[in-house]
Amino acid sequence: MPAITTRSRRAVWRRQFLLQGCWNYEGMQNVGFAYAILPALREFYANRPEEALKAVKRHLEFFNTQPAMGSVILGASVRLEERVAAGEADVRAIGTFKVGLMGSLGAIGDSFFWGALRPMASVAGVLLAMLHPLLGIGALLFFYNTAHLTLRRRGFAAGMEGPEGAVDWLKREALNIRTDDRKMLAAILGGAYAGLFAGRFAGHEGGPLHALAWLLLAAAAVNLFTVLFRKAVSPSEILSFLLFIGVLILWR
């Protein structure tokens, strides 16, 4: 069996960071995936150029998933290609595995990375940036990338154990629970951010009733914006509307 060398394995690991290097509307991450897995294919089919070409073409087919979660599929695809090259597995297993997993991993990854981890890291960074900008930037990058790079590393290693290893790892990681935890943290920090700014704008004058009115107004504004987002109104549209009001104020 043509086992992958450490050098090729490291090359594939490094190349996964360029999965979206040629992102396009037709094959999406197809060129990036073929590029990432190429060192392994060159090794498995070292003296079989025709089969190497067929293998590369397999990976130039449509592929799209959340980029960090792509590491799991990439690792497992390397292992499957290894088995195919050794004549131990059917070539169709690779396509079936990739197509079967990219959608669900994309959904899990989008929800975790874009819907929970990034908002949590962003709002933590923003709050700390009020103390010092560099502290905020450091916090944003630290909170996001510790989870991001760990999941990439573990996901790739699990994938390299084969498709079964990848599925087991996904169960063990329980990303749905982690997503809920990050969302809770983001909600706490986001609430703190909203309260801090609303408090700053409340002004020195007026008593508790004035402050309460400000708080209710701010909470209503957050709710209104949220409803607008849910109705697919873009933040840019809201900003352009506010700019229009601003121009009217200047005109007056």
Partner 1 sequence: MVWQFLLAAVLGGLCYLDRTAACQLMLHRPLVVATLMGAIFGNLAAGAQVGVVLELFYLARLPVGASIPPDDTGAAVFGGSAAAVASSSIGLDVASFTGLLLLSFVAAEAGKVADRFVRKVNVRIARLTAESVDRGDLQAVEHGLLAGLTLFVVTGAVLSLVFAGAGVAVSKQLLPLFGPDSRMDFAVLLPALPLLGAASVYSCSRTERTAAVFFLTMAAVFGATVFFRWAG
Residue 112 C-beta: closest distance to partner 1, Å: 11
Which pair of tokens denotes residue 41? 């294919």
Residue 71: HSE in the Cβ half-sphere, 13 Å Cα cutoff:
24
Residue type, 159: G
Specify the DSSP class assigned to residue 211: H
Show contacts with partner 1 in window 116-155 (CB under 8 A): 116, 118-123, 125-126, 129-130, 133-134, 136-137, 140-141, 144-145, 148
- Least distance in angstroms from the C-beta of 170 to partner 1: 19
Q: Say whether residue 171 binds partner 1 (CB under 8 A).
A: no
Residues 6+ apart with CB under 8 A from 163: 76, 79, 80, 93, 97
**Beta bridge partners of residue 66, listed in sequence order:** none
CA proximity to 152, closest of 183, 173, 122, 121? 173
Contact pattern for partner 1 over residues 89 through 118, marking x by CB under 8 A: -----------------x---x---xxx-x
Cβ 19 vs Cβ 45: under 8 Å:
no
Pick the stretch among 4-12, 78-86, 93-101, 232-240 that binds partner 1 (CB under 8 A): 232-240
Q: Is 197 a binder of partner 1 (CB under 8 A)?
A: yes
Q: Which of residues 69-88 bind partner 1 (CB under 8 A)?
A: none
Give the number of residues in contact with partner 1, rule: CB under 8 A. 98
Residue pair 55/92 in contact (Cβ under 8 Å)? The answer is no
Q: Examine residue 17 and tell whether it contacts partner 1 (CB under 8 A).
A: yes
Cβ proximity to partner 1: between 97 and 144 the closer is 144
Which of 49, 87, 171, 209 touches partner 1 by CB under 8 A? 49
Pick 65 or 162: Cβ nearer partner 1: 65
3-state secondary structure of 28: strand
Instruction: Tell me which of 53, 93, 174, 213 binds partner 1, using CB under 8 A.
Output: 53
Any idea which residue has 């010092």 for tokens? 132
**Using an 8 Å Cβ cutoff, are 37 and 74 in contact?**
yes
Stretch that binds partner 1, among 4-12, 73-81, 163-171, 234-242 (CB under 8 A): 234-242
Task: Please select the residue that binds partner 1; options are 24, 104, 146, 176, rule is CB under 8 A.
Answer: 24
Binding of partner 1 by 51 (CB under 8 A): no
Whether the CB-CB separation of 44 and 55 falls below 8 Å is answered with yes
